[in-house]
Structure 1
Amino acid sequence: MWPDVDTADITDRWRPLSPEEEVTAPQRIADAQAELNTALRLRGLDGTPTFETTGELADWETLYVATVVASVRRYFLNPEGWTEERESLDDYDATRKREAGSGNLFFVDADIDRLVPRRRQRRGAFTIRLGQT
């Protein structure tokens, strides 16, 4: 089972949403979670991982929610995906560039990497038995 994310998480971590954003936020959150969950499944993580302590689990859940919120925030800041828009008045000149991946919900590999727990290497002494005595 994956952690729940809702519009309150966006307002807590960013700002109050406009009425238009309030309407679209639940669907954008669901879309972002579906994309993130699929990416995590492709990395072998099938639901919330198990940790040795509840503190580690709470940290992971907070990071998951923050990752979804960051994706939705990027979408709301630039829904059309423009990186540059320039207009000139004399001798009219217009420049528009669309950023690859923007205007859509997306996650970079670093977002996914942070959510996939790494196995800790076992440290300690070991014994090699050379023969019977």
Structure 2
Amino acid sequence: FGGGEPALRPDFIRRFRELCGPSWRLTLETSLNVPQENIEALLPVVDSWIIDIKDMDADIYRQYTGKDNSRVVSNLRLITEADRQKDCMIRLPLIPDFNTDADREESRKALSALGYTKLDLFTYKR
């Protein structure tokens, strides 16, 4: 599930899981900037996660997205508490005019401290 923010529709995804059964693998692409209860509802039904972080720094995240990243950080911790980090691919871009290699390295360190090891480091093209 991707496009828009599928984690805003946990009931739909849970119902889809019921219909398709356990033999289908479900992957969710998300920013994690959704209410924690949505992620709690999705943890038992989603097999793998692609998480687009942008940047762990609150100011950089706000400058780029116009939103606060406290939900993102809280949901990353929730996934860690559920010991599901191994099921996550974290997308961590270098965004020209918003973050630097050093900023991205700080984000990588913060994510590693939470137990995330699968990182997709790439550069946004203009």
TM-score clears 0.5 = no
For this structure pair, what is the TM-score category when the shorter chain's length is used for normalisation?
A: under 0.3
Name the structure with the higher strand share: 2
TM-score normalised over the length of structure 2: 0.24
